Amino acid sequence: MQLPAGVVAIARYVKPGYEADFEEAVRGVILAASTFPGYVGGEVLYPETKRGEWQLILRFDTFTHLQEWEQSPICQGWIARADGLSVGAPKVVRVNGLEAWFALPSVPNTLPPPKWKTAIVSAIGIYPVISLMPILLRPITSGIPTWLATIVSISIMMPLMTWVVMPQITRLFKRWLYPSVVKHSAYQSSNSNPN
């Protein structure tokens, strides 16, 4: 039996004027994490605006390896450094595998939807990409070996799915994926109305 992968997404707001220092710290975190057993990869999602939210995503092959990294003195040192460069407490979300595609900023600290729902929504998002990508790439990939064409296709499809298609599909299906959260937020909104 394969253990589930460990993924952590950490979102922070950086103190004004410390963006370059924070970026250096984030790169240091990724470099340090890469020396730990089970490290699979790390990414930085830069804010849309200068004062926006920075996100760091770290992936390990198992949740146990992620925990070993998070509990290490090296990780704790990087957390202390990031704390000094950011405003407020970080938002930390731990997910397994494709659940990261279903994290909505407007639905923080919520459990991911059931796997059967994620499978359906993933299929809805993946189908058009898989269907159209080979047609669109044919002029570029027609003269190269199949294995290389596949690598080219995947290297375009995965970022497209991760940062473009799935965030939009997840927002579109938000009410179905997170029915109790949507009801709760609607209830909160109606109760916060002073009229």
- The per-residue pLDDT for 96 is 59
Q: 110-145 pLDDT, tens per residue?
A: 556 777 888 899 899 999 999 998 899 999 999 999
Domains of the chain: 6-95 (3.30.70.100), 115-191 (no CATH)
Rounded Cα–Cα distance for residues 11 and 46 (Å): 10
Which two three-digit tokens encode residue 154?
A: 């995947």
| Distances from the Cα of 161 to the Cα of 128, 156, 164, 169, angstroms | 11, 9, 6, 10
Distance between CA 109 and CA 144 in Å, rounded?
45
Q: pTM to 2 decimals? A: 0.52
> 26-79, pLDDT tens digit by residue?
999 999 999 999 898 888 888 877 778 888 888 888 888 999 999 999 999 999
Identify the pLDDT of residue 2.
Answer: 43
State pLDDT tens for residues 81-109.
999 999 989 988 777 555 556 655 555 44
